[in-house]
Amino acid sequence: MPGFEKAKLMTFPRYVLIGHDVVEQTGDLVERLGWGRRALIVSDERTKAIAGDSAARALAGAGFHADFAIISGASMASVEQVKEQAFRSRADFLIGAGGGSVIDVTKLSAYELDRPFISMPTSAAHDGIASGRASIKENQGNVSKAAKPPDAIVADTALILKAPYRMLASGCGDIMANLVAVKDWELAHKLKGEEFSTFAASLSVNSAELVIEDRDRIRPESEDAVWTVVKSLISSGVAMSIAGDSRPASGSEHMFSHMLDRLAPGKAMHGEQCGVGSIMMMKLHGGDWRLIKETLEHVKAPVTAKQLNIPEKTLIEALVGAHKIRPDRYTVLGEKGLTKERARELAVETGVL
């Protein structure tokens, strides 16, 4: 049939090992993957004790050699440090055992070194644990860099349960963003002819709907809650792998969050900001914003500017400037964004202010 020229390369994790005490199975997993015998485990001081040491023990038990790279923060200096240590210890593969920063640094290092890596999260605060992009701090703030999705994920629910519950609730906010992101994507497809993947979009929406359905199970001190949220964060990552970029899980609500990062860095967590952004952007779309708000309230994630620790003026400013974050990505904010009046109205109508 003439005329069909579509071609696409999709990259997925090969194994996803999730559940109670699965870190202990790391050696068997790497044995199956056949990557070689030498590992470099990337951690920070804290996550080395939580996950890194257990991973090293599991690897040693299966006859692997493991070295450590202890980093602090998601900077290019950390990436250089990991690359150098990987080179020196002749590492065949990398393991990022830690939170978002550790996994981002490992992801980018592995990509630049062209080595496989395992994502071993110690918290479930956002979908970076399974995505192909790395958020790295540079002078002006965080920059999202192209890397690759993890080759394998080891998500130990017993271990993630030890992280503060606030992080899991934040993860729910990052998942609610999918509902808005897909609506933004549909809009860009309709108005700008942007390529759209129904498969990626359905998987992304489905991940969010599962969290909404299971919201009664998401509460502090529940390993079952960790299971539900982590599963959903991983399928968000897979949706992004299908799309080949972050479109299915990042739209206007993420732009609002990134603008807040610039205006009020460190006030709230990424997923918390995305959750509040999702409430407001869903209202702009004319969708069911109340359902998002109720879900976030139910899992004890922030739903107001006050709970985010953001002053009214900053919140309005973030809404007004959000569209400038990524002008190439068309969203419900349009090319001109919101006026100050409309932004305030939106925040008041949704109870954010």
Spell out where 125-240 has E strands.
133-138, 141-146, 152-156
C-alpha to C-alpha distance for 165 and 172, rounded to whole angstroms: 11
Amino acid at 155: A
CB-nearer residue toward Zn ion: 104 or 174 = 174
Binding mask 39-78 for Zn ion (x = CB under 5 A): ----------------------------------------
Q: How far is the CB of 236 from Zn ion (least distance, A)?
A: 9
Q: Which residues in 195-224 contact Zn ion (CB under 5 A)?
A: none
C-alpha to C-alpha distance for 315 and 292, rounded to whole angstroms: 19
Task: With contacts defined by CB under 5 A, name the span among 152-160, 170-178, 204-212, 213-221 that binds Zn ion.
Answer: 170-178
C-alpha to C-alpha distance for 258 and 34, rounded to whole angstroms: 39
- C-alpha to C-alpha distances, 191 to 58, 254, 282, nearest whole angstrom: 52, 20, 18
Binding mask 123-152 for Zn ion (x = CB under 5 A): ---x--------------------------
Task: With contacts defined by CB under 5 A, name the span among 44-52, 104-112, 173-181, 235-243 that binds Zn ion.
Answer: 173-181
**Residue at token pair 């080395």:** 48
CB-nearer residue toward Zn ion: 37 or 267 = 267
Task: With contacts defined by CB under 5 A, name the span among 13-21, 38-46, 121-129, 229-237 that binds Zn ion.
Answer: 121-129
Q: What are phi and psi of 348, to 5 degrees?
A: -70, -45
Q: If binding is defined by CB under 5 A, does position 104 make contact with Zn ion?
A: no
User: Which among 274, 230, 232 is positioned nearest to 253, based on CA atoms?
Assistant: 274
CB-nearer residue toward Zn ion: 174 or 214 = 174
Question: Which of 174, 253, 261, 272: binder of Zn ion (CB under 5 A)?
Answer: 174
Classify residue 142 by burial, with Cβ atoms within 10 Å: 0-12, 13-18, 19+.
middle
Task: With contacts defined by CB under 5 A, name the span among 5-13, 33-41, 166-174, 317-325 that binds Zn ion.
Answer: 166-174
Kindly list the residues in this chain that would bind Zn ion in the complex (CB under 5 A).
126, 174
